[in-house]
Amino acid sequence: MSSPAGAGDSVGLGGPSAPPPGLFIHGVNVLDETGGFGGPLDVLVAAGVVRAVAKDLSPGASEVMLDGDGLWLLPGIFDCHLHTGLSSFDTLELLRTPFSRRVLETADVLRRTLAAGVTFVRDAGIADAGIRDGVAAGYVPGPTMQVSVVAIGSTGGHTDGFLTGPGLECSVDYSLPDYPGRPPNLADGPEEMRKTVRLALRSGADWIKLIATRGVLATSDGGFDPELSFEDLVAAVLEASRRHRPVMVHALGGEAIRWAILAGARSIEHGVFLTEADAAAMAARGCFLVPTLAIYERLAASARSGDLDPGRASRAIAVGEHLGDAVQIARAAGVKVALGTDFGHRIDHGRNLSELALLHRAGLSVEEALLAATSVGAELCGVADRLGRIAPGYQFDAILLDSEPTDLASLSEPGAVTGVFQRGTPIVRHPRLRNAAATTTLI
């Protein structure tokens, strides 16, 4: 797969302009390619890149020192399905919120997400290329971003929040604000789909995001029948491939999943009602699953407590009853599973690592869950040659834990991540880090 634009050039891997200081971590437990931990090992970092991982290395005189005894070092976490530009599901609140305030809150979301240990985000719609590029330029702290800008659906489908009273076009719940230059999010038929994909790419999208079925929070009634035709999906994938961009497809079940796989989707988002046949086809074609369990667990709880309207509540409960089934089916078929949360509310942002425990509960081993959050996410996003591992030649995006992550539920607790590095720079400084007071960028 060709890397999206944000993954390989200065746009996607920007950040602090000053070269970070050299770093020497002594005697730390390091996540390896199997998802287990080797160590204690020494880790030498220079110019933001891992230079050596071995026992009994010698530090240089000018390197920042960190005693890693009893600490665990992991690559930075990948959240492969996140909505950083959304902080509420309340339609009226979103309609009343000035666009400028939403952009500023997005900056806060990005800061909190990075502080939680997420150093790479694939935004699944709403954040645009300007936000991605602003973070890369260092205007605000945040993870490296790939963006889809808009989620493309059909008229009357999940993304269509048409306001019947005033007769105004609107995205569902006004989750996607209107602004000059924003590409359209609705397409009907293959020809219109081609144009809409081209407009999204022109706006700087790294991924094309398609909505092939309803979601739990759709405003229209009904289940999870296809909302895009097979021909629509083929047209979108073909058009994206001309610009070397991959396609991610929101599909909860049914024919939509099968069509998306056959059309050439790089990943299936959610895939709640995945079948064994679908999973076999995904494995054969190298299609990833991003199951986003955390958001569905919360929506099912909201439905049971009466906080959702009847239509949404029935879908939330139906999805909750099958929560995690797709992960077991995908794992058995050899489908690669990547972590994604689908978070889009301010009470959830910054709790991204809660997805790890849910992946484990759904059937992944602890080791597999940790890889889903690191190296598998890097592979999905096309950056596995330089991110997602603690190994020589890899960019030092990393997190530190004070306890072994055998109990993944503990990573959901505030403060579980005690150190965060981005391109070798300490972002959240671990208490043991010495001689870095003048060079760190803390958030």
All structural domains of the chain with their residue ranges: 8-76+388-428, 77-380
Question: Which tokens belong to 84?
Answer: 């950083």
**Helix pair 325-333, 276-285: axis angle to 10 deg:** 50
Show pLDDT as tens, one digit a residue, over the chain (443 residues).
Answer: 544 544 433 333 344 456 677 999 999 999 999 999 998 999 999 999 999 999 999 887 778 999 999 999 999 999 999 999 999 989 899 999 999 999 999 999 999 999 999 999 999 999 999 999 999 999 999 999 999 999 999 999 888 888 899 998 989 888 999 899 999 999 999 999 999 999 999 999 999 999 999 877 666 666 678 999 999 999 999 999 999 999 999 999 999 999 999 999 999 999 999 999 999 999 999 999 999 999 888 887 877 888 777 777 878 887 778 889 999 999 999 999 999 999 999 999 999 999 999 999 999 999 999 999 999 999 999 999 999 999 999 999 999 999 999 999 999 888 899 999 999 999 999 999 876 544 445 56
At 236 the three-state DSSP class reads: helix
Taking the C-alpha atoms of residue 180 and residue 236, their distance in angstroms, rounded to an integer, is 24
At 250 the three-state DSSP class reads: strand
**What integer pLDDT is reported at residue 218 of this predicted model?**
66
CATH of 77-380, one of 3.20.20.140, 3.30.70.330, 3.40.50.1100, 1.10.357.10: 3.20.20.140
- Strand stretches in 275-383, DSSP E: 288-290
Angle at CA 304, nearest 5°, toward 302 and 307? 40
- Strand stretches in 47-182, DSSP E: 49-54, 64-67, 72-75, 77-82, 118-123, 144-147, 151-152
Judge contact between 50 and 60, C-beta under 8 A.
no
Question: Which tokens belong to 415?
Answer: 């403060």
Topology of domain 8-76+388-428 in CATH is Urease, subunit C; domain 1 (2.30.40)
**What integer pLDDT is reported at residue 17 of this predicted model?**
54
DSSP letter at 266 equals S
Give me the phi and psi of 132, to 5 degrees please: -55, -50
Judge contact between 298 and 275, C-beta under 8 A.
no
Which residues, in sequence order, are CB contacts of 226 under 8 Å at separation 6+?
A: 212, 213, 254, 255, 256, 259
DSSP letter string, 28-97? EEEE-TTSSEEEEEEEEEETTEEEEEESS----TTSEEEE-TT-EEEEPEEEEEE-TT-----HHHHHHS
